[in-house]
Structure 1
Amino acid sequence: MRLYKECLSCGKELIGRIDKKYCDPQCKSAHQYEREKKQPERFYNKVDNQLRLNRRILKQYNKAGKATVRSKILKKEGFNPNFFTHYWKNKKGDVYLFVYEFGFLKTTERNIEKYVLINWQDYMTTNN
């Protein structure tokens, strides 16, 4: 008495074990990939993916340790300023948001939105 008569992926007749579901490892992998692709993206994965994208973009545009970039350039690349890991407040009261070791501060110069990009430094402890 066989549980499955055909491969769940390709539909071929199954030969062998009674509880066999797939004809080979490739069909098993393909079926699981398709099944996973149909499920909605999990919240944790969405947040993690955006943080990794933000980090990559900030690293790309901040090679020297400090830079100023127009916000529309970063946003065009997929940067989302609502996703960050922590913040740091300087003595002037400016709050830099950080994505791991790369920080950014939103500013406006001559009605143009920009981000000041910095790298985390040892003096930026949370004990300020």
Structure 2
Amino acid sequence: MTTTTTRTCKECNQTLNGRKDQKFCSDYCRNAYNNKKNGTVNKYVRHINAILRKNRRILDELNPSGKVTVSLMMMAERGFNFHYYTNTYTTKKGAVYFFCYDRGYLKVDQENYILVRKQEYVK
């Protein structure tokens, strides 16, 4: 005795005809299903990436020449978010540079930062 079960699309519940491992009736349904499933995670990642891009843009605008000292206030007024960065680099003397991709900054004192561009030796 053979039992047949009707397979349906995971997105629209339309009856599936074709391969036995088919889960969706079309590319549209597959994309819609995966977008709903991953939407929350992707939204969070997009939000963080937007902050990092903004930070990098601010560092780039404030440092057109390669190395400059700027005030904390100047960075903050432009909306720089000090909580987000892509990596750090610690010098032999123990100074810690924070980077947003290839643009970095080092806290000099309570009011000032040195802005730099990543050098080849910085990983």
> Which letter does structure 2 place at the counterpart of 1:95?
A
Q: What is the CA distance between 1:55 and its match in structure 2?
A: 3.7
Question: What corresponds to 1:63 in structure 2?
Answer: 64
Question: What corresponds to 1:37 in structure 2?
Answer: 39
- Note the aligned Cα RMSD (angstroms): 3.8
> 5+ residue gaps in structure 1?
none
| Number of residue pairs aligned between Structure 1 and Structure 2 | 112
Q: What is the CA distance between 1:71 and its match in structure 2?
A: 3.8
Q: What is the CA distance between 1:52 and its match in structure 2?
A: 4.8
How is 1:1-128 mapped onto 2 (pairs within 5 angstroms)?
Answer: 1-2=4-5, 4=7, 6-39=8-41, 49=49, 52-53=52-53, 54-67=55-68, 68-69=70-71, 70-73=74-77, 76-80=79-83, 84-88=87-91, 95-99=95-99, 100-106=101-107, 107-108=109-110, 113-120=111-118
Q: CA offsets per residue over residues 86-109 of structure 1, 9 Å max, x none? A: 1336xxx6825142543312233x
What TM-score results when the alignment is normalised by the length of structure 2? Answer: 0.60
What TM-score results when the alignment is normalised by the length of structure 1? Answer: 0.58
| Separation (CA, whole Å) in 2 of partners of 1:120 and 1:25 | 42
Q: What is the CA distance between 1:29 and its match in structure 2?
A: 1.4
Secondary structure class of the residue paired with 1:63: coil
Q: CA offsets per residue over residues 11-35 of structure 1, 9 Å max, x none? A: 2232333332111011111111211
> Which letter does structure 2 place at the counterpart of 1:59?
D
| Separation (CA, whole Å) in 1 of partners of 2:16 and 2:119 | 61
Secondary structure class of the residue paired with 1:64: coil
Secondary structure class of the residue paired with 1:85: strand
Q: What is the CA distance between 1:3 and its match in structure 2?
A: 6.0
Q: What is the CA distance between 1:56 and its match in structure 2?
A: 4.2
Distance 1:3 1:55, change over 3 A: farther
